[in-house]
């Protein structure tokens, strides 16, 4: 068994225009000062990272790694959550998601999608140039507006949506395969891949693609009332990335899973800072250790109440205290008496008088 790496932190929620959050060196030093040893970089944020340059220049990637190493952290993964979202957008969300794209492709869904696909392709090469083995993204969504089957969905609607989603992602998955990097989809409401069933539907349509993997975040399963521990038991061979994020779900007589269109602070299901929600992280970390999870424990801070810098500071210690240093021996080795095949057969009474084969 391997010991999880960490603690690490996803920088997307912390990057800003004020120091130390406005450049890679500054935010890396800030993270290291809190006790983090790894950072997950949002590839769309030009204040921290130049994705196109990273795909074309190993020297630039060495520079990025050097800046991080000098600060005391390693790059855990790159993220294309925003670009991945734009690989598949239902027309109902065109205006809302246009803000994720550069101005020159806004208002043009086909150009926006082509830009997103190029971004993912660049991210594959950039990840390899950085020496990384996994990459984080979103799947996007064509079927999400039809989540609840009322009005009744016409036959084949969801199947057509997933056929198209897989067709859009298959060339991207192949690009990641060529460079030996796993593509990890964050299973997340708002994406067509939002639970185990939908991941399976997608995986089957990609021909069980060897680079199609999961970014596991238990908070999204709490808000869906899904068993997030059983999810690990079922899908651990495909889980290659881990966002450590907490949540709580407290339904009332007035609202439940759907939240009544309320703001986050007023919803029955809310994201919380680590330790303030309902996720049983001792069980989560235990299961990941049991299944020999190969990656990092990465804090993704999202909380409707606590200040982000407090959440980050507390989160580093929380993750460090939950990482299980896996054992290199069985706990009852002290009682071992040693054995061989002959001794085993004697203990079972095999090949003794009257038991000849």
Query: What is the tally of structural domains in the chain?
Result: 1
- 355 domain residue, yes or no: no
Q: Tell whether 350 is covered by a domain.
A: no
Q: Answer positive or negative: Cα dihedral of 191, 193, 196, 201.
A: positive
Q: Is the bond preceding 275 in cis, omega lying within 30 degrees of 0?
A: no
Distance between CA atoms of 20 and 26, rounded to whole angstroms? Answer: 5
Residue in this structure with the two tokens 């998955």, named with its chain if needed: 173
Alpha helix ranges (H) inside 193-340: 196-205, 218-222, 228-235, 281-290, 308-322
> Strands, DSSP E only, in the chain?
5-10, 38-42, 74-80, 134-137, 182-186, 212-216, 239-244, 246-249, 269-272, 296-299
pLDDT, position 338 = 66
pLDDT tens profile 84-136: 999 999 999 999 999 999 999 999 999 999 999 999 999 999 999 999 999 99
Q: Is residue 341 a part of any domain in this protein?
A: no
pLDDT at 353: 62
* Residue 222 confidence (pLDDT) above 60: yes
Q: Is residue 339 part of a domain?
A: no
CA 139 to chain centre: 12
Is 164 among the domain residues? yes
- pLDDT tens across 313-347, in order? 999 999 999 999 988 777 666 666 667 888 888 88
343 within some domain: no
Q: Give the pLDDT confidence of 142-169 residue by residue, as tens digits.
A: 999 999 999 999 999 999 999 999 999 9
Calculate the average pLDDT of the chain: 96
| CB contact at 8 A, 229 and 283 | yes
Q: What is the mean pLDDT of residues 271-278?
A: 98
Between CA 265 and CA 154 the distance in angstroms is 36
Question: 39 lies in which domain range?
Answer: 5-332
pLDDT of residue 195: 98
Alpha carbon 27 to its chain centroid, in Å, reads 21
- Answer yes or no: is 289 within a domain: yes
Q: What is the pLDDT of residue 243?
A: 98
Domain CATH for 199: 3.20.20.150
Asked if residue 102 belongs to a domain, the reply is yes
For residues 297 and 295, what is the distance between their CA atoms, to the nearest angstrom? 7
Residues 39-54: what's their mean pLDDT? 98
In angstroms, rounded to a whole number, what is the distance separating the alpha carbons of residues 150 and 277? 32
């Amino acid at each position: 068994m391997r010991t999880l790496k960490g603690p690490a932190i996803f920088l997307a929620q912390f990057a800003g225009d004020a120091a130390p959050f406005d450049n890679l060196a500054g935010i890396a030093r800030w993270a290291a000062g809190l006790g983090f040893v790894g950072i997950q970089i949002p590839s769309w944020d030009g204040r921290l990272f130049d994705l196109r340059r990273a795909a074309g220049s190993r020297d630039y990637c060495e520079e990025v790694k050097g800046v991080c190493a000098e600060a005391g952290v390693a790059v855990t993964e790159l993220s294309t959550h925003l670009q991945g979202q734009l690989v598949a957008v239902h027309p109902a969300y065109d205006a809302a998601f246009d803000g994720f794209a550069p101005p020159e492709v806004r208002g043009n869904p086909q150009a926006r999608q082509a830009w997103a696909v190029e971004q993912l392709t660049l991210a594959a090469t950039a990840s390899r140039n950085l020496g990384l083995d996994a990459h984080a993204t979103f799947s996007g969504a064509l079927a999400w507006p039809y989540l609840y089957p009322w009005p009744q969905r016409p036959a084949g609607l969801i199947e057509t949506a997933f056929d198209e989603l897989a067709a859009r992602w298959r060339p991207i998955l192949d690009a990641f395969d060529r460079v030996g990097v796993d593509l990890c989809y964050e299973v997340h409401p708002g994406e067509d891949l939002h639970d185990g069933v939908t991941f399976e539907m997608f995986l089957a349509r990609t021909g069980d693609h060897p680079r199609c993997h999961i970014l596991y975040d238990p908070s999204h399963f709490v808000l869906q009332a899904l068993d997030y521990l059983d999810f690990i038991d079922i899908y651990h061979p495909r889980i290659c990335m881990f966002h450590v994020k907490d949540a709580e779900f407290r339904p009332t007589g007035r609202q439940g899973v759907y939240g009544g269109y309320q703001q986050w602070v007023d919803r029955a299901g809310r994201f919380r800072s680590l330790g303030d929600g309902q996720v049983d992280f001792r069980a989560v970390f235990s299961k990941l250790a049991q299944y020999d999870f190969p990656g990092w424990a990465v804090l993704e801070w999202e909380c409707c109440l606590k200040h982000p810098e407090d959440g980050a500071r507390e989160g580093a210690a929380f993750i460090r205290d939950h990482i299980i240093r896996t054992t290199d021996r069985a706990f009852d080795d002290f009682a071992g008496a040693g054995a061989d095949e002959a001794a085993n057969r004697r203990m079972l009474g095999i090949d003794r008088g009257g038991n000849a084969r």
